[in-house]
Chain A
Amino acid sequence: MMQPPKTDSTVAMKAGDTLLSVRNLNKHFPIKDGILQKVVGQVRAVDGVSFDIRRGETVGLVGESGCGKTTLSQCVAGLTDPTSGEILFNTGQGSQLGDGDRIDKLPKDRYRTFRRNVQMVFQDNFASLNPRQLVVDIIGRPLKVYREASGSDLTERVVALLEQVGLGRQHLYRYPHQFSGGQRQRISIARALALDPELIILDEPTSALDVSVQAQILNLLGDLQKERQLAYLFVTHDLGVVRHMADRMITMYLGKVVEQGPTETVFQQPAHPYTEALLAAKPDLADDPDKPFALLEGTIPDPARPPLGCRFHTRCPRVTPSCGWEIDDIVRFLEADESLFQSLQGVERRSARDADLIFKDPASAVALQEAMKSSSVPEAMRAATERLTVEGSRLRATFSEVDEVQLTERGPEHFAACKLDHLSR
């Protein structure tokens, strides 16, 4: 077995206290256009996210592709710099996390402590293991960088790590391509464990693996957590895995947290329609096989122009008039109608909720007005329409103003960002 490495963070600590805290984190990517590469917009990949990770717990982060979960995990690992917001990490200086623990302001030696205590396991183990290095070099590298071991001591440490993940001495001098997918993921985990970290960020660690291999890896992660008091940030889109692994889970949609809470509570009583839809879309072997799929309309909107109000309102099956209807919803509705969309010439916006839509001919404007009053648009959208007047070939539409949705408390440690107080079933 490995000797416990002596780091600042191994000073006495009680399990359960906050290890890492993310506060109002934003990561925006600029969209550049033209010869001068002028910034014309921002993709808000992560938009005002806050959460805590405690020592020894597993936090699941779920959402569809493009919801910002990978960007968020990279910010937490210190691999990209957030646009704004704070990430605080307990480097063992005091019990309360404060401004001095911001990872972008840490002095050099404490930053090294942070880096060695937060490790990452990537999804694609083909890309994350150097094909030209031997396993002993891959796993031994963190130990060399931090001057933990050298020479035969290093080899012994690597062997100990390999044995912990279910491999052995015979694998030391092999290249990554000589291993199967599950074994390569074990090597990735051994590398992450080398410096005895406190937090491991697992970015879809099993999505490329078969079920039986996935079970082996999940069991290994569970054992290691028990043995070493590890905290995991488990990024995945597989809800079955989250339910099996996570103590708490966070659901993200278009860069925002829509729900967070203890896993079992969220699974049994989801408080956000998006979480509810995600849970219903994934069949479980324990379900009744004849239960119909709960289907979600449409696709994720463009993250460069996220919908106002609740970002999920364009697809939500439980949408209300106060969910943030806007002019872009009319444009999305028009895109599905070939003839009306062709005759649309422009949109003159007074604000995001008040605009003139200019058509080629008055008939199209009247046709849209009729459509907007009929059942072809959601009832909630009709109820939210304050003004819908036609002047010649211009249609003026105004929607009522609503407040932003905030995360509100729904139970112990259970938060959701939805206008509805509870979801009736």
Chain B
Amino acid sequence: MTSNLEGTEPPVIAEVRDLRVHFGSKRGRVHAVDGVGFQIRDGEMLGLVGETGCGKSVTGRAFLNLIPQPPAIIAGGEVLFRPRGGAACPACAGSGCHACGQTGGETLDLLKLPQDRMRQIRGARIAMIFQDPGKALNPTLTIGVQMAEVFLQHKSDELLQDAGISADDRNLAANALRRIAHQEDRWLDRRLKRFPPLRQAAGRIQQALDARVAAALAETQIANPLRVMRAYPHELSGGMRQRVMIAQALACDPDLIIADEPTTALDVTIQARILELIKTLQERHRTAVLYISHDLSLVRKVCDRVAVMYAGRVAEVGTVSDVFSNPRHPYTQGLLAAVPRAGARRGHLASIPGSVPELVNPTPGCRFADRCSQVMPACTQLDPVLGSVGEGHSVACFLEHPPHAGAAKIEKALTE
């Protein structure tokens, strides 16, 4: 299941550093995401698990700059992304340095990127699979038309080439077709489109487009792509809609896919098929996937590494086998014990007492302190930070890292 077969770690493709997203509310500032940090390596599947309201979806959406501001306030942090085959790193000119994680590629801070650059990345380099395909697909457009938008947005030059219009053609007809393919057509272009030879060329563009859409749908094992392309979302079953969403996400062969609970709205049998599909496509394309879920057993099944979030912070990160067989954070332990499983039948499930704390103007200290069975005085005064407990396995808990280990940090916290 591990992604590094050759022994060399694949490069870090995306990284979240100390991300803080707050929401303004009547009662004060809700610290929904409060200092989250993790790395995603190229071609790996990272699971992000946690309960409702722990900030996992907001973290996922930060990758696509899809957090509405207001009400959200991005209070700090960076979401770094290194596209494959991007421009050279400005610091070392491609030779590999600390700033670019030895990849030599440029590093983008997605939160500070201008809107037009973000549009080029969204859908092409980072794609998203949403939880409810019934809501994420446009009910007024056929599947073919909304799938075509992805290609028109990101692949229009290749479409023009497929239709036999090279980039050097600068005559009236080619310019008109170029505007049509780039979705920038004016009324005159639409009139011109009716006359040959433009009509033929526009037809060729449409054909190339249809072929690409059909191929993308066929890749997600849709039996009859042409029929699905003519259908509206409501005519398809839930599993089919989720396949369309996956086809749309994979259409431009992205480097990173954010899958936000992709199977929660589906039945178990369909869920198994969709997961299998995501897993095989991910392995075939070597795409990195951030898999957001609340279902621990699914994450264990499909992911390589897992980050457990609690109340806006990462409690534990590590490989799936480490975290599930040897959980070190009391919250992870409680969460795993709460899942009904074979063998432990009819007894009492170990439940975590209490409920998730309110995140309005939180006080310093571990967020889990008031539900934790092993709480210590330090837990209510200091913020634990993620510290290593093994190879690639980190935990934010004072049980593993007693407060005196990081004396400087405590002094700072006490003086503030």
Residues of chain A whose beta carbon lies under 8 Å from any beta carbon of chain B: 64-65, 180-183, 210-216, 218-219, 222, 237, 239-241, 243-245, 264, 267, 277-278, 280-287, 289-290, 293-296, 299, 335-338, 341
Closest residue on chain A to residue B223 by CB atoms: A336
Render B365-390 as a binary contact track against A, CB cut-off 8 A, 1 for contact: 00000000000000000000000000
A290-B1 in contact (CB<8A): yes
Render B312-335 as a binary contact track against A, CB cut-off 8 A, 1 for contact: 000000001100100000000011
B342-A267 in contact (CB<8A): yes
The 8 A-B pairs of least Cβ separation, nearest first, read A215-B351, A244-B340, A215-B338, A281-B272, A215-B349, A336-B223, A210-B51, A64-B267
A293-B352 in contact (CB<8A): no
Main secondary structure of the interface of A (DSSP, over half): helix
Choose among B52, B239, B271, B301 the residue with the greatest number of A CB atoms under 10 Å from its CB.
B301
Chain B nearest CB, measured from A295 CB (Å): 5
Closest residue on chain A to residue B298 by CB atoms: A283
B338-A211 in contact (CB<8A): yes
CA distance A295 to B223 in the complex (A): 16
Closest residue on chain A to residue B265 by CB atoms: A65
B residues 286-328 touching A (CB-CB < 8 Å): 294, 296-298, 300-301, 320-321, 324
A218-B349 in contact (CB<8A): yes
CA distance A254 to B269 in the complex (A): 14
* Chain B residue contacts of A182, Cβ below 8 A: 355
Q: A219-B349, A283-B298 are in contact. Are A212 and B334 (CB under 8 A)?
A: yes
Residue in A212, A277, A284, A289 whose beta carbon sits within 8 Å of that of B51 in the complex: A212
* Chain B residue contacts of A65, Cβ below 8 A: 267
* Chain A residue contacts of B275, Cβ below 8 A: 293
CA distance A219 to B268 in the complex (A): 24
* Chain B residue contacts of A237, Cβ below 8 A: 267-268
B residues 205-256 touching A (CB-CB < 8 Å): 223-224, 226-227, 237, 239-240
B355-A240 in contact (CB<8A): no
Q: A244-B349, A293-B275 are in contact. Are A284 and B267 (CB under 8 A)?
A: no
Residue in A222, A264, A285 whose beta carbon sits within 8 Å of that of B339 in the complex: A285
Choose among B224, B269, B297 the residue with the greatest number of A CB atoms under 10 Å from its CB.
B269
Chain A nearest CB, measured from B309 CB (Å): 12
A278-B268 in contact (CB<8A): yes
Chain A nearest CB, measured from B117 CB (Å): 37
Chain A nearest CB, measured from B133 CB (Å): 14
- A211-B296, A282-B297 given; 10 more Cβ-contact pairs under 8 Å: A181-B52, A210-B52, A212-B338, A213-B351, A215-B349, A222-B348, A243-B345, A245-B340, A286-B342, A289-B321
Q: A210-B52, A289-B300 are in contact. Are A295 and B267 (CB under 8 A)?
A: no
* Chain A residue contacts of B321, Cβ below 8 A: 289
* Chain B residue contacts of A245, Cβ below 8 A: 340
* Chain B residue contacts of A183, Cβ below 8 A: 355
Render B1-21 as a binary contact track against A, CB cut-off 8 A, 1 for contact: 100000000000000000000
- What are 21 inter-chain pairs, A to B, with CB distance below 8 A? A64-B267, A183-B355, A212-B335, A215-B337, A215-B349, A215-B351, A222-B346, A277-B269, A278-B269, A281-B268, A281-B272, A282-B268, A285-B336, A285-B339, A289-B301, A289-B321, A290-B1, A296-B273, A299-B239, A336-B224, A338-B227
CA distance A64 to B301 in the complex (A): 21
* Chain B residue contacts of A338, Cβ below 8 A: 224, 226-227
CA distance A211 to B268 in the complex (A): 17
CA distance A299 to B340 in the complex (A): 27
* Chain A residue contacts of B356, Cβ below 8 A: 180
A299-B270 in contact (CB<8A): yes
* Chain A residue contacts of B340, Cβ below 8 A: 215, 218, 240-241, 243-245
CA distance A287 to B349 in the complex (A): 18
Chain B nearest CB, measured from A274 CB (Å): 9
Residue in B52, B224, B298, B342 whose beta carbon sits within 8 Å of that of A243 in the complex: B342
Closest residue on chain A to residue B239 by CB atoms: A299
Whether B276 is near chain A, meaning CB under 8 Å from some CB there, is yes
Whether B350 is near chain A, meaning CB under 8 Å from some CB there, is yes
Whether B341 is near chain A, meaning CB under 8 Å from some CB there, is yes
Whether B70 is near chain A, meaning CB under 8 Å from some CB there, is no
* Chain B residue contacts of A64, Cβ below 8 A: 267-269
* Chain B residue contacts of A290, Cβ below 8 A: 1
Closest residue on chain A to residue B271 by CB atoms: A281
B1-A212 in contact (CB<8A): no
Chain B nearest CB, measured from A411 CB (Å): 19
Chain A nearest CB, measured from B247 CB (Å): 17
B351-A219 in contact (CB<8A): yes
Closest residue on chain A to residue B342 by CB atoms: A286
Whether B343 is near chain A, meaning CB under 8 Å from some CB there, is yes
CA distance A103 to B223 in the complex (A): 48
Closest residue on chain B to residue A58 by CB atoms: B346
B300-A283 in contact (CB<8A): yes
Closest residue on chain B to residue A220 by CB atoms: B351
CA distance A293 to B239 in the complex (A): 16
* Chain A residue contacts of B349, Cβ below 8 A: 215, 218-219, 244
CA distance A239 to B342 in the complex (A): 10
CA distance A28 to B343 in the complex (A): 39
B351-A283 in contact (CB<8A): no
CA distance A183 to B356 in the complex (A): 12
* Chain B residue contacts of A211, Cβ below 8 A: 51, 294, 296, 335, 338-339
CA distance A211 to B294 in the complex (A): 8
Q: A211-B335, A213-B355, A295-B272 are in contact. Are A284 and B342 (CB under 8 A)?
A: yes
Residue in B297, B338, B351 whose beta carbon sits within 8 Å of that of A284 in the complex: B297
Residue in B224, B350, B352 whose beta carbon sits within 8 Å of that of A335 in the complex: B224
* Chain A residue contacts of B239, Cβ below 8 A: 299
Chain B nearest CB, measured from A231 CB (Å): 16
Chain B nearest CB, measured from A292 CB (Å): 8
CA distance A282 to B346 in the complex (A): 19
* Chain B residue contacts of A219, Cβ below 8 A: 348-349, 351
Chain B nearest CB, measured from A183 CB (Å): 8
Q: A215-B349, A215-B350 are in contact. Are A285 and B324 (CB under 8 A)?
A: yes
